[in-house]
């Protein structure tokens, strides 16, 4: 919901370290893959109930997610980089609630499943809209530097990470947070369906 407003601040903060990495030969794809590997470590941390450690891996994953874009802008953004960025993000988003389900299946498995299902709705509507928009040669005015058409909504990257942070800080409230955010994701999915229905209506 506020990703577009945060982008200028993020760029100002991450351009200097991105320049440092680029000057040492680091490629954006390498940053993306390293960030994903760090994010994967959050899964066993969550499963073991080490929520503070999982929060550290979450932060490192998100830092890398911003740095790869900074490095790419200082060199040459590629289609492969855009593909990796979004594809790995969606996997990471699904694995995070899975970690809570593994930590306490009796309490967390159902809310985790509901949240992952809600992520399927937001992710599929996001990617379907992006694919059709790309076919039509359209770009998102609020996200001009994104490698694909970036469709906003009630639940975007910032909101998702904020909820994940809250889950780590208050793990006992995971079911409530998961159900609540799943409902917000359902609203986002419905709004995106409506946007797609109107935006891609047959031209007369």
pLDDT tens column, 7-34: 666 677 777 877 887 777 788 899 999 9
Phi/psi class of residue 96: alpha, beta or left (left: φ > 0; alpha: ψ in -120 to 50)?
alpha
Tell me phi and psi for residue 146, to 5 degrees: -70, 145
Domains assigned to the chain? 3-199 (1.20.120.1760)
* Residue 110 scores a pLDDT above 50: yes
pLDDT digits (tens, 9 = 90+) for 148-194: 666 667 788 889 999 999 999 999 999 999 999 999 999 999 999 99
**In degrees rounded to 5, what are phi and psi of residue 41?**
-70, -20
Q: How far apart are CA 187 and CA 181, in angstroms?
A: 10
Q: DSSP per residue over 86-107, as a string?
A: HHHHHHHHHHHHHHHHHH-HHH
């Amino acid at each position: 919901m506020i990703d577009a407003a945060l982008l200028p601040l993020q760029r100002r903060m991450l351009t200097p370290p991105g320049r440092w990495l680029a000057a040492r030969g680091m490629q954006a794809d390498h940053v993306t893959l390293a960030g994903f590997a760090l994010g994967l470590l959050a899964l066993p941390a969550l499963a073991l109930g080490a929520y503070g450690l999982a929060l550290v891996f979450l932060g490192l994953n998100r830092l890398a997610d911003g740095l790869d874009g900074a490095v790419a802008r200082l060199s040459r953004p590629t289609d492969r980089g855009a593909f990796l960025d979004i594809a790995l993000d969606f996997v990471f988003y699904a694995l995070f609630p899975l970690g809570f389900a593994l930590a306490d299946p009796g309490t967390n498995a159902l809310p985790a499943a509901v949240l992952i299902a809600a992520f399927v709705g937001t992710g599929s509507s996001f990617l379907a809209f992006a694919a059709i928009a790309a076919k039509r040669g359209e770009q998102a005015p609020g996200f001009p530097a994104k490698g694909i058409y970036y469709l906003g909504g009630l639940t975007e990257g910032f909101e998702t990470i904020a909820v994940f942070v809250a889950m780590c800080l208050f793990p006992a409230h995971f079911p409530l947070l998961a159900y609540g955010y799943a409902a917000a994701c359902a609203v986002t999915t419905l709004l995106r369906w409506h946007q797609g229905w109107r935006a891609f209506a047959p031209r007369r």
